[in-house]
Amino acid sequence: MQFNGPMMKNFLLFALLVAAFGGSAQRIHGYAKAKIAGQEAFQLNDSTQVFAERTERGFTVRKRVWVANSSLSGGVIMPGSSLYNERGEVIGQTLGADVPLTGAQPATERKLRKYQVGTVEGEVRATALQAGSWPEEALADLLNAKRSRPFWEDAEVFFKDYGFAEIEANDLPEALAEGGYKAFILMRRDASNQASARFRILVVTRGESAVQSIVLEGGPIELPKFKLTETTSVGTVMHAQKPTPAFKEALEELAYRNIPLE
């Protein structure tokens, strides 16, 4: 893919913002205790989705949480405090260590006006994350599977289980909408407290019959039947069939719409 003028400017801005591979969709075991500097720091409810980055010893996990003002002191969450989601439901608690609330800002939700929202971060072992909760691996399994039933029966389950949202037809670039394509997107949540998140995976299907293309924030996944893989400024782009120039341009446009520039 070639980029000129304003698109090159966008690319340069984007290059400064790209984070390491990872994102929401990994689920953490309820028994896992995230540590800070070797001390147990916080624990989340079983199957809570987190942002995860691989380290030499395991993973760094982050979670966007809401915390009562009364539980904060100088931007730090006191031990024994409850962690909430945007609906005011308890999703975890802090343990023995003081836990910084990174990027903290006043909550805007009506019933959480006396709360701050930000991210917590800690270190866990690889066994803390539930097997099968990596969307890239599940997507590869979906596309490589030998099928005895319609593709869409399995695809719908995959998109739902991993938190993909369908992009409305009237929000698609013209070439995709007029071609009868559908698009599904998984956003990268919990990595920071920024209002705008970057997409992690973008999947474009030929209606409900098959996947045409995918865009991955990280590297390629193992798809032997796919015809073309490209490394571009929007991520790794993989096509099941050789795309037309109009399709490639529309896919690029859709990807750029879901990359925050500030």
pLDDT in tens, 191-221: 888 767 889 999 999 999 999 999 999 899 9
| Residue 262: predicted pLDDT | 56
pLDDT confidence of 14, banded at 50, 70, 90?
very low
Mean pLDDT for all residues in the chain: 88
Burial, 16: exposed, middle or buried (Cβ in 10 Å; 0-12, 13-18, 19+)?
exposed
Specify the pLDDT at position 13: 32
Which pLDDT value is given to residue 12?
Answer: 31
The pTM score is 0.77
Is the pLDDT at 88 greater than 90? The verdict is yes
Is the pLDDT at 147 greater than 90, yes or no? no
**The pLDDT of residue 24:** 64
Q: How much of the chain exceeds pLDDT 90, in percent?
A: 76
Contact 94, 81 (CB under 8 A): yes
CA proximity to 135, closest of 116, 162, 155: 162
Kindly state the greatest CA–CA separation across the chain.
58
